Amino acid sequence: MLNMKKILIIFVLVYSCSFSLTHGQTIALLKYRGGGDWYANPTSLTNLIAFCNKNLDMTLNPKYETVDVGSVEIYKYPYVHITGHGNIVFNNEEVQNLRNYLISGGFLHIDDNYGIDKFIRTQMKQVFPELEFVELPYNHPIFKQKYMFPNGLPKIHEHDNKAPQAFGLIWEGRLVCLYTYETDLGDGWEDYEVHKDSETIRVKALQMGANILKFVFTQ
Amino acid sequence: MAILTEYSIWLSLLCILIGVLFSFLLYYKNKDIDFGKRNLKILMALRGLSIALIAFLLLAPLTKMTLKKSEKPILLFALDQSESIISGADSLYYKNEFPKQYKSLITQFGDKYDVILYSIGDNSRKVDENSFEFSDKSTQISDLFEEMNTIYSNRNVGAVVLASDGIINKGSNPIYSLKQSKFPVYTIGMGNPDIQTDLFIAGITHNAQTFKGNIFPVEIKVAANKLKGKTAQLSIFQGNNEVFSTNIAIANNQFFTTIKTNFEAKSKGMLKYRVVLSQLDGEITYKNNTSPFYIEVVDEREKIAIIYNAPHPDIAAIKSALELSDKYQLDVMSIDEFKGSLNSYSLVILHQLPSLQNSAQNLMNEIQKTKASVLYILGPKSNLSIFNTLKSGVSIVKNKDLTNESLPSFNNNFISFTFSEEAKQLLPKLPPLITQFGDYNVSVGANVFFYQKIGGVATNYPLIVFNDQLGLKSGVITGSGIWQWKLYDHLYTDNCDVFNEIINKIALYLSAKGDKSLFRVNSKNLYNENDQINFNAELYNESYELINNSDVNMVIQSSSGKKYPYQFSKNNNSYQLNIGELPPDDYTWIASTQFGSKTYNKSGAFSVRQMMVENQNLKANYQLLNTISVQTKGKFYNVKEMSKLENDLKSNENIKSIATYHKNYNMLLNSIIYFLVIVLLLGCEWFIRKWNGGY
């Protein structure tokens, strides 16, 4: 009898879970060409989603999707994420698709996993030839959403002894692309086992990630 | 023709056997009556046949017929009717020579082809004969290809011939809609692909609305080609008064600059400005040296608060739409950030509040106290049991924790405000909102704007609904995910106008102070010259019930005093008037009706704005046309070599008639003949038996 009850509870849990999936918004990882490791940090978005759903009462789909830069599917996602260390190439079609998506109301977060800088800057110049990356000052609202970051981006993963910086592309007054440079947020979002970052560092990274999502969704 | 059954055809032998067995048992074994040898044989045959036939029909046999049909190849000629075609130096050619050449090209494809003519421009439309007026005020190509892909996808389309200058300023990039295209597109390049000597206004950016006393910014983009070293003057006029002037030194041959200035909104109403650039020698056209812009000035700034349970992309999207108008002051906050008091907000937008985690009691009390209008946006975190007590116009009985994907479907009886044709057309293409699965109860008097369409089925569940309770207005969007409408609007139309219209009209309707008059007229106050001009009117009796027994008349007057009389048509229980397009001007209107012994009058004004987009860019985009042809394995021709098209199309072996075979199945049972045969057989048998003294 007890067994029966247990099965029933599990059934109800699975049942309600599977339908709550359809509730929320899905965020996506951008898959690009050029040879760079777009798939670096496989657990990071999943952890960020779980953090936001738990602490900000958000309704994000627990699973993120992967989407091609040139795919029209990109319009399904309010936030897309780029990570990696290496080369990135956008062709004309991809440039046009990404530009239209961002102008229409989409958002791109580029997280420098170290080494992405020279590649992504030239590619984003193709997407927005008329815009320059501007540094977001420490008093920018993105640093004081749910969590306070009076000194700007937290440093997650030491690499080149440079200060972390946040850059943005601003289209008609709206931040359409955030580029977090020399911090490696995605590294801190990953499972503990992957990089063995301390809990404090990991929480800082997740809090900053939550700030980014909150800003993007309510800006 | 062949006969087949669902079962093995050998069973029909069994049917014959059953027939034989039956008649054998009846007549051979049964010797009560002597019919005579010859009659017995006939009777046995009749009975045997009828039984066998009945048994055979039980097998549900079908007849199969194969019909051959041959379809001529369709040649679809689409001609660009936009103004830009005749704005260049060769306008005489397009008015005189081109129509002859184009018509003669088409007549070459008489018998062997099925020629269909289309016009493109403001929209793509099938025509019996092309006009060569070139008067459309905008150009879109994408809708032509979308129509090809849907209407003609199963037809034998040999080729599409598109004659255009490739300058598009409406709809999405046609390359997107080409991806599914199955037929070659041959393109004819019209206009002039060279950079033309021209000074022009490339765009004007300003808020659509502002409030009295505000200083509002205006940005004017000015471009000049092949005019290096010249100096142009830019002036802005309000009425006949010059309110701004500056000189622009043109530094290079592909010059672009942005002029910024500020004006004060001194008086209420629709302010009309005109930007004028001086005319320089050698310009291809002076039409694009002047452009009007309108800004509506309202009495005071209204405050709107957006308060949310949790960050959600809906919030950013709604905020972006409301920010277009300077007349709103927006405050966006989470329920945790809500300070406890709401001061003079005319509208409060609640996203998934009250929520399962937060009943937001303080906030709800404050809203009630300040009598602000509310727009509820429901989602998975909404607390429906609290929501159902709020008298919002709808209550929802939750059926498990399931959700539906609900597409918007416009309620044709909706009259509280006008809704543009563009928006109605785009609506079915927008992605679904996620709504609660359950029973929806719309209270009497609530006004449904969009219904939910679930799994292709139209329901009477509301997706967006309004309620007016003793002057307290509320609205409900019963699902979340409206942010996707903004993105898809942009995907299909290259702008977010429809999304912005939906959000701003909702906000305007909800924030407006309740109109208590018995006669109300709704209209827009600014139209483009290619817009359909629409009015809605409502007449109420003393007990606030909609009636439309009386006629409603309207007189529209142009700025020069010319009067146009109209009468509204009756629509369900309200009134509608569509007067089509009007030339650019400022108009005033007076609507009047009589009910009982009382006469009601309403008056207002609107402006029709000249459309300038067709004159902004006059450099023909042959590259786009070429890409279209290359992608679809067609070919690009300059208009001068148009005649070559005839040969190329005729020698293209893929363009040919195709024979299609249609299989036609018919149930034998559906045919009355078999029934009659059985009746006849049994009837004959009965007659013979009676004749011979049997029964």
The confidence score (pLDDT) of residue A16 equals 38
Q: In this predicted model, which residue has the larger pLDDT, B202 or A12?
A: B202
Distance between CA atoms of A98 and A75, rounded to whole angstroms? 10
Cross-strand bridge partners of residue B297: B210, B269
pLDDT tens-digit map of B435-466: 988 899 898 888 899 999 988 888 999 999 99
pLDDT for A85: 87
**Mutation choice for A interface testing from B490, B630, B631 by most A CBs within 10 A:** B490
Query: Average pLDDT of B62-84?
Result: 88
Cβ distance A57 to B381 less than 8 Å, yes or no, reads yes
Token pair 């992405």: residue: A116
Among A49, A175, A217, the strongest candidate for a mutation testing the B interface, having the largest count of B CBs within 10 A, is A217
Give CA B246 to chain center in angstroms.
43
pLDDT digits (tens, 9 = 90+) for A186-212: 888 988 888 877 888 889 999 999 999
- Residue B180, pLDDT > 80, answer no
pLDDT in tens, B654-694: 888 888 788 888 887 788 888 899 999 999 988 888 887 76
pLDDT score, position A11: 43
The tokens describing A93, both together, are 């079609």
Amino acid at B657: S
Distances (CA, A) of B80 to A106, B117, B118, B122: 33, 11, 9, 10
Question: Least CB-CB distance to A19: which of B312, B403, B489?
Answer: B403
* Residue B375 pLDDT: 94
- Mark yes or no for CB contact B491/A72 under 8 Å: yes
Provide the shortest C-alpha distance from residue A204 to chain B (in Å): 19
Q: Rounded mean pLDDT of chain A?
A: 84
List pLDDT tens digits, range B265-311. 888 888 889 999 999 998 888 888 998 898 888 887 888 999 999 99
Nearest partner of A217 among A150, A145, A155, A161, judged by Cα: A145
Q: Let me know: does B476 contact B291? Beta carbons within 8 Å.
A: no
Q: How far is B434 from chain A (nearest CA, A)?
A: 7
DSSP state of B498: H
For residue A55, the chain B residue with the least C-alpha distance is B310
Among chain B residues, the shortest Cα distance to A25 is held by B481
For B514-531, write each residue's pLDDT tens digit.
Answer: 666 788 888 888 888 888
Q: Does B251 touch chain A (CB under 8 A)?
A: no
pLDDT band at A4 (very low <50, low <70, confident <90, very high): very low
Hey, which residues 398-457 in chain B have their CB within 8 Å of chain A? 401-403, 405, 431, 434
For residue B644, what is the enclosing H or E element? helix B644-651
As a whole-number percent, the residues of chain A with pLDDT over 70 amount to 89
pLDDT band for position B695 (cuts 50, 70, 90): low
Task: Please give the pLDDT value at position A18.
Answer: 34
Does B490 reach chain A within 8 Å, measured CB to CB?
yes
Q: Name the minimum distance, in Å, from the CA of B392 to any CA of chain A.
A: 23
B627 in A contact zone (CB under 8 Å) = no
The rounded distance, in Å, linking the Cα atoms of B625 and B187 is: 6
A22 contacts in chain B (CB < 8 Å): 403, 405, 434
Per-residue pLDDT, B516: 67
Q: Which of B542, B556, B433 is nearest to B486 (CA)?
A: B433
Which of B382, B487, B494 should be substituted to probe chain A, the one whose Cβ sees the most A Cβ atoms within 10 Å?
B487
The secondary structure of B30-44, three-state, reads CCCCCCCHHHHHHHH
From the CA of A210, how many Å to the nearest CA of chain B?
10
| B623, two tokens | 């590259």
Question: Rounded mean pLDDT of chain B?
Answer: 87
B496 and A104 within 8 Å at the Cβ level: the answer is yes
In the numeric block, the tokens 């960050």 are attached to B311
- Could B320 and A105 be called an inter-chain contact, meaning their C-beta atoms sit closer than 8 Å? yes
Q: Which residues does chain B have within 8 Å of residue A79's beta carbon, measured at their own beta carbons?
A: 313
Which member of A19, A106, A214 has the closest CB to residue B311? Answer: A214
How is residue B427 annotated by DSSP? Answer: G
For residue A78, which residues of chain B lie inside 8 Å, CB to CB? 313, 316, 483
* pLDDT tens string B89-138: 788 899 999 999 999 999 888 788 899 999 999 989 999 888 898 989 89
Instruction: Using a CB–CB cutoff of 8 Å, tell me whether A59 touches chain B.
Output: yes
Q: What is the residue-wise DSSP string for chain A?
A: -HHHHHHHHHHHHHHHHHHHTTTSB--EEEE-BSS--TT-STTHHHHHHHHHHHHS---B-SS-EEEETT-GGGGG-S-EEE--SS--B--HHHHHHHHHHHHHT--EEEE--SS-HHHHHHHHHHH-TT---EEPPTTSGGGBSSSB-TTSSPP-S-SSS---EEEEEEETTEEEEEEEESS-HHHHHS-HHHH---HHHHHHHHHHHHHHHHHHHH-
Q: Using a CB–CB cutoff of 8 Å, tell me whether A72 touches chain B.
A: yes
Please say whether the beta carbons of B409 and B456 come within 8 A.
Answer: no
| Prediction ipTM score | 0.86
d(CA B411, CA B419): 11
Q: Which residues does chain B have within 8 Å of residue A94's beta carbon, measured at their own beta carbons?
A: none
Average the pLDDT over A16-26 and give the result.
54
Give the global pTM: 0.69
CA–CA gap between residue B16 and residue B18 (Å, rounded): 5
**DSSP tag of B393:** S
- Cβ distance of A104 and B319 shorter than 8 Å: no
- CB of B173 within 8 Å of a chain A CB? The answer is yes
Residue B545 reports pLDDT greater than 50: yes
- The answer to whether B609 and B526 have CB atoms below 8 angstroms apart is yes
Residue of B357, B463, B330, B363 whose CA lies nearest to B409: B463
Q: Which residues of B touch A16 (CB under 8 A)?
A: 401
